[in-house]
Amino acid sequence: MPYAYDDQNIFAKILRGDIPSTPVYESAHTIAFPDISPQKKHHLLVIPKGPYRCYDHFVQAASDAEQLDFFRAVGAVAKQLGVSEVHGGNGYRLITNSGPDSLQEVPHFHVHLLGGEPCGPLTAG
Ligand code: 5GP
């Protein structure tokens, strides 16, 4: 079954400029901005500009250029934040939720980048 994309989701509205955001990073196919409800000292959301609902959808349907740009962007944001070990930081965690079991709230593919302090156990239960 092909993925459907609802362009009324909150990140689609941010991408269209209907809702304000403060991007900390932008490239050809990707933006990153702070989560409205940060769970750690650093909590950014990295999202593709294209209309993809979740990770599966992104890797199935996005072009090679979009995928390369996205994964490079995640690394660039970690470097920019100073959380990469290779850039003097103490590490970070990436999370992506996909579908109901994960409790994905916003149906536009995104990666949470958390860091700046210990992230704790991997899952809550
Ligand atoms: P999910 O559960 O889908 O993986 O995570 C969605 C994230 O989007 C949540 O961490 C939530 O705090 C964040 N979020 C929801 N609405 C907004 C918004 O309007 N602006 C920003 N910057 N983040 C949002």
35-66: pLDDT as tens digits: 999 999 999 999 999 999 999 999 999 999 99
Range of the domain at 54: 24-115
User: Band of the pLDDT at 125, cuts 50, 70, 90?
Assistant: low
Residue that has been written with the tokens 């362009």 in this structure: 7
Over residues 93-113, the pLDDT tens digits come to 999 999 999 999 999 999 999
110 tagged catalytic: yes
Q: Give domain status of residue 16, yes or no.
A: no
Q: Give domain status of residue 103, yes or no.
A: yes
Query: Concatenated DSSP letters for 73-111?
Result: HHHHHHHHHT--GGGT---EEEE---SGGGT--SSS--E
Cβ(21) to ligand 1 under 6 A? yes
Segment 79-94 shows an average pLDDT of 96
Give Cα 39 to chain centroid, integer Å: 14
Q: Give domain status of residue 120, yes or no.
A: no
Cβ(9) to ligand 1 under 6 A? no
Residue that has been written with the tokens 């092909």 in this structure: 2
Q: Give domain status of residue 33, yes or no.
A: yes
Q: For residues 83 and 91, is the Cβ–Cβ distance under 8 A?
A: yes
Q: Give domain status of residue 9, yes or no.
A: no
The count of domains in the chain is: 1
Which of 33, 57, 106 maximizes ligand 1 atoms within 8 Å of its Cβ, making it the mutation to test the pocket? 106
Q: Give domain status of residue 105, yes or no.
A: yes
User: Which CATH number characterizes residue 51's domain?
Assistant: 3.30.428.10
Kindly state the percentage of the chain with pLDDT values over 70.
98
* Predicted pLDDT of residue 107: 98
Which of 6, 8, 35 maximizes ligand 1 atoms within 8 Å of its Cβ, making it the mutation to test the pocket? 35
Q: For residues 116 and 99, is the Cβ–Cβ distance under 8 A?
A: no
Q: Give domain status of residue 31, yes or no.
A: yes
Q: Give domain status of residue 47, yes or no.
A: yes
Regarding pTM above 0.85, the answer is: yes
